Amino acid sequence: MAWLSSDAVFNPDTLNNSVIGIYAELGDHDSGLHQHAMAQMLFTRQGCIRLTLNDGELLCLLPPTRAAWIPAGVSHRAEMKNSVAYRSVWFQPHCFPSLPTEPAILNVSPLLRELLERIAEQPWDTGWDDAPFYHLAALCCGEIGTAAHEPMMLALPKDKRLAHLSGTTLPPTLQHLAAHSGASEKTISRIFRRETGMSFQQWRQQWRLMKAVELLSTGQRITDTAQALGFASDSAFVYFFRTMTGMTPGQYLS
C-alpha cells in the first residue's frame, strides 16, 4: 500500500503482483487517457470523479461512496475537481477469472467497502496466492461481481453531426439539436437509438442526472443545480431526481 501524492507517477503493471492497492487524495487532477494490463476497482470515499472510457465513447460519473469497475485493457481518463479521496485496487485478470468483463459504476456495500479498504492497505509485495490473502481477494471479487449497478454511464453518439455533444454542456432539446446539426428530428432519434441504445429524450435525461450528481457532489446548491440543468423550480428538479434514482438528492449523496 502507498499514499500517493498529486505529483506521483504510478503504474501497477510494473509491480508484478496479482493484486495492488493504493490510497490517494487528489484535487484538480486529470490522469490523461491511459490503460492497464490489470483490471481496476476505483472507490471514492469523498468527492466525485468524471471518467471517459473506450477512447471517449462512454461517459461515466463516479459519485461519492460508489466504485468504478474498469476491466483490463479498457482505455480511460479520470478527471477530478476539488479534492477527491479514493482507494484503487488492481487485479490480474488471469488470477481472478470470474471478474466482470464490462465496465460499470457500482454500489458499494459495507462488506465490499471494508474489503477494498483492507486490500488497499496491504504492502505491494503481499503474497496474494496464499491464505489468508487469497481468500480476502477472492471474496472481494465475488462482491464486485454481484454489486448493484448505478445509472451513471452514458454512451456518446459517434455520428459526426452530433460530435459537439461532448458531455460537458447541457444538451439542447431535440428541436434545437436538429436545427443545429442539419439533420431531421427523425434522423437524430434513429442515430441515438442505434448508437446509444436510448431515445434522445432518455439520453438527455440521463445526462442531466449525471450532471446533477456531479454538481451537487462538488458543493453546488440544489437551487443552482436546478437552474443550470433547465428545471423550472427546485421541486421539479427534486421530483426528476427521485423519479430517476428512487431517492432525493440528499439521500443519494449520503
For the residues 72-79, what does the mean pLDDT come to?
94
Per-residue pLDDT at 74 exceeds 80: yes
- Report the share of the chain in percent with pLDDT over 90: 72
- 58-62 and 3-4: which strand pairing? unpaired
Q: Which domains does the chain have, with CATH numbers?
A: 3-146 (2.60.120.10), 157-253 (1.10.10.60)
* Closest-CA residue to 249 (of 230, 223, 222): 222
pLDDT in tens, 84-132: 889 999 999 999 999 999 999 999 999 999 999 999 999 999 999 999 9
Per-residue pLDDT at 186 exceeds 70: yes
Preceding peptide of 171 cis, ω within 30°: no
Residue 25's pLDDT is 84
Could you give the maximum distance between any two Cα atoms of the chain, in Å?
A: 63
Q: What's the half-sphere exposure (Cβ side, CA atoms, 13 Å) at 60?
A: 26
Residue 116's pLDDT is 96
For the residues 197-216, what does the mean pLDDT come to?
94
Per-residue pLDDT at 167 exceeds 70: no
Per-residue pLDDT at 1 exceeds 50: no
For the residues 38-48, what does the mean pLDDT come to?
93
The pTM of the full predicted model, rounded to 2 decimals, is 0.89
Chain mean pLDDT for the chain: 91
Distance, in Å, from the CA atom of 244 to the CA atom of 238, rounded to the nearest integer, reads 10
Per-residue pLDDT at 163 exceeds 80: no
3-state helix, strand, coil in the chain (%, to 5): 35, 25, 40
Banded pLDDT at 166 (limits 50, 70, 90)? low
Banded pLDDT at 3 (limits 50, 70, 90)? low
Per-residue pLDDT at 22 exceeds 70: yes
List residues bridging with 84 in a β-sheet: 26
Between 11 and 165, the higher pLDDT residue: 11
Per-residue pLDDT at 2 exceeds 70: no
Residue 30's pLDDT is 86
